Amino acid sequence: MTPIDANPILGTVLHAFGATAAVFCYTPQQKLRGWSWQTYWLAQASICWLIAPLIGAAITIPHLLEVLRSAPPSSLLLTFVLGMLYGIGGTAFGVAIRYIGYSMTYAIAIGISCILGTFAGPIWSGKIAGILQQTGAGWVISGVFIGLVGTLVCGLAGRLKELELHQNRPDSAQPFVLGKGLLLCILAGIFSAVYGIAVNDAGKPIALAAEQLGAGHWQTNAVYIFSNSGAFVTTALYCLWLSLSQKTFREYRQPRTDAAGALGVNYLMALLTGCLWYSQFFFYGLAHVRMGRFEFSSWAIHMLMLILFSSVVGIIMREWHGRRLRTKAAIALAMLILGGAVLSLAYGNYLGQLAGAK
């Protein structure tokens, strides 16, 4: 899309819808009964990484087969391979939580992903110098790094909360292994950023082929066929290995609980999780093509909104109730910084659109 066709304000709103879907995608897991992690994860991954992208593309991309034939094979392959790396990153993220806790894992991994996923594409393509000279670029770049600070403060607040909870319930404290946790966080952050590169850069020729054949704003849905199926492959391999080693395949027919209706509920929750998770990418694609000159900043906006909205939901769910004043002050400061970062990114994109329209 050309800048005159862009609408960064609408794009930011659509990013907000996607981030909201991502925040709530893990809540159905709380209703599971008698399924191991790998049983549930493979079931929901089949929806969000394989089935939903195919259905979404089939519905929204005209002449889909012709699009796939006309797109460069190198782009199809690279997007798929980068998606595979993203799947590894998601697994590393889950394992890192066991060693250093959710909050530190989230802050470090998302912080790395935000920076790399935003800037790696423009730097690799040699466009970063031209981008920095455009109107509004200062606001966009500042927003990314302000968001990084907010992410780290949010991680600090979460760590303070975890320490308080462990002090009140010593038996619930998990082993803290900093070395392994940091290594896995770095791995998760780098490989998660790869997804942004897959969609924004490697998959660009696929999206352009879809646009030329009438896909319009839905063009990114053609990219997800390859980026998401790549992630499904590595995720499925890990889940299958766990299922074989722990002999949990039987849970798909008979969960480890005799509660009435447990199997049906589990499948329904996996379906809901997969649809919510795919929804974040569905809205991400609609938002990304509307960001105009600074569309590379889509990844940063999505990541920062994800952290901001998850913090808001945590407050609504009273996760911070009863915590010390310094812990509450830390999360409040983090949310203010993250909110400012998103506004800076949105304003920079808006200035870029105005300059392009003149």
205 near 106, Cβ under 8 Å? no
Among 39, 75, 92, 84, residue whose Cα is nearest residue 229: 84
Tokens, residue 34: 């008698």
Q: Where are the domains of the chain?
A: 3-357
Helices within the chain (DSSP H only): 8-24, 37-45, 52-60, 64-70, 73-100, 102-125, 128-132, 137-168, 178-197, 204-212, 220-246, 262-288, 298-316, 325-357
Distance of CA 272 to the CA centre of its chain: 17
Q: What is the DSSP letter of 200?
A: I
Residues 6+ apart with CB under 8 A from 56: 221, 224, 278, 282
Q: Per-residue confidence of the chain (358 residues) as pLDDT tens digits? A: 434 478 899 999 999 999 999 888 878 888 888 899 899 989 999 999 999 999 999 999 999 999 999 999 999 999 999 999 998 988 888 778 777 776 677 778 888 888 988 998 888 778 888 888 899 999 999 999 999 999 889 888 888 887 887 776 655 555 656 678 888 888 888 988 899 889 988 999 999 999 999 999 999 999 999 999 999 999 999 999 999 999 999 999 888 776 667 889 999 999 999 999 999 999 999 999 998 889 899 999 999 998 898 888 888 878 788 889 999 999 999 999 999 999 999 999 999 888 876 6
Determine the Cα angle at 104 with ends 101 and 108, to 5°: 135
Tokens, residue 330: 């830390």
Q: What is the DSSP letter of 174?
A: P
Q: What is the DSSP letter of 51?
A: I
State how far the Cα of 335 lies from the Cα of 172, in Å rounded to an integer: 28
The SS3 assignment for 15 reads helix
Q: What Å distances lie between residue 35 and 8, 47, 48, 151, CA to CA?
A: 42, 17, 19, 33
- pTM for this structure? 0.86
